[in-house]
Amino acid sequence: MRVATWNVNSVKQRHGRLLEWLDSRRPDVVCLQELKMTDDAFATLIGPDLEERGYEFATAGQPAWNGSALLSKVGLQDVVVGIPGAPEYEGIVEGRAISGVCGAGDGDPGIRVHSLYTPNGREIDSDHYAYKLEWLAALVAQVKADTVPQLVCGDMNIAPTDEDVFDPAAFTGHTHVTPPERDAIAALEALGLRDVVRERWPHEQVFSYWDYRAGMFNKNLGMRIDLILASGTVADRTAAAWIDRQARKGKGPSDHAPVMLDLDTAPDGDIGPMVPPPSAGRVSPKGAKLPQTKD
């Protein structure tokens, strides 16, 4: 089984790219984030294309912003939209989470797959940062309460360690790297979830997001904020875990690349952490800044 998670940053803008990618990589289960459309709009725009390819789908849409989806060729049962107990933001329950059980049958309980778009947090000590931490706490409680094997997938908007950013000094004073955010990832791991990409590539520089600005992608100045966390029994089946960097290239890409997990069977044997490898290679720039940083 191949599982993928991808923040597409607008299905409408990347409709064609998404379909081409599905045809090329042929994932069995796909978690999408940042749909930027309602459930009905998603079903109208891309529903027939997905059904033609054998996917069932469920969405937690939202007009203009946010939105998550779950696609599956291996069954989709017990769908839960949202996170029980998750906070609202400015009076709105945002479309940031959806989960469902995939691969169940013949005595197999299947895997509950979560497609998540964690709040950004914006600025430390902002109300959005507090909202992010409350949302993450609700996620941890939801995962803890479920007894089915799980995959927690999505744009978590958290770099788990300093190894997951191009230069820790550049992120001082910014969100995505603060101890409370990283504590939420640690809390999920304390429940038995394992970071399959980092486990597979413990010493490699691996990124999933590169800012559109300042040539960050070509310079390989990125972050690893898109994650797949797997229950122990699922993680034990990992044959390959990698970043599909190819999908970040070309005209009009998302600023995120898909994260891929192959269970039981690896594609042509084991492969590298980012495919293809970045032309800039491993980077350790001193003094490089985030594009939004002001002097």
- Reported as a single tens digit per residue, the pLDDT across 226-274 is 999 999 999 999 999 999 999 999 999 999 999 999 999 998 877 899 9
pLDDT at 293: 52
Is the confidence at residue 295, as pLDDT, over 60? Answer: no
Whether 256 has a binding-site annotation, put simply, is: yes
Is the confidence at residue 280, as pLDDT, over 90? Answer: no
Q: Report the pLDDT averaged over residues 86-96.
A: 97
Per-residue pLDDT reduced to its tens digit, 73-83: 999 999 999 99
**Res. 289 pLDDT band, cuts 50 70 90:** confident
Q: Pick the catalytic residue: 39, 155, 226, 262?
A: 155
Q: What is the pTM of this model?
A: 0.96
DSSP 173: T
Whether 7 has a binding-site annotation, put simply, is: yes
Please measure the distance between the N-terminal and C-terminal CA atoms of the chain and give it in whole angstroms. Answer: 48
Domain boundaries, the chain: 2-263
Is the confidence at residue 285, as pLDDT, over 90? Answer: no
Are 7 and 226 spatial neighbours (Cβ–Cβ below 8 Å)? yes
Whether 218 has a binding-site annotation, put simply, is: no
pLDDT at 286: 65
Question: What share of the chain in percent tops pLDDT 90?
Answer: 92
Tokens describing residue 79:
């769908």
Which helix (H) or strand (E) covers residue 102, if one does? strand 97-102
Q: Pick the catalytic residue: 55, 89, 117, 209?
A: 117
Per-residue pLDDT reduced to its tens digit, 180-216: 999 999 999 999 999 999 999 999 999 999 999 999 9
SS3 (DSSP) at 65? coil
Q: Report the pLDDT averaged over residues 279-289.
A: 76
Is the confidence at residue 294, as pLDDT, over 60? Answer: no
Which of these, 102, 101, 68, lies nearest to 82 by C-alpha position?
A: 68
Pick the CATH number of 2-263 from 3.40.50.970, 3.60.10.10, 3.40.50.10330, 3.40.50.620: 3.60.10.10
Is 55 annotated in the active site?
no
Q: Pick the catalytic residue: 28, 114, 164, 256?
A: 256
Is 131 annotated in the active site?
no
Whether 120 has a binding-site annotation, put simply, is: no
Euclidean distance between CA atoms 98 and 260, whole angstroms: 19
Is 195 annotated in the active site?
no
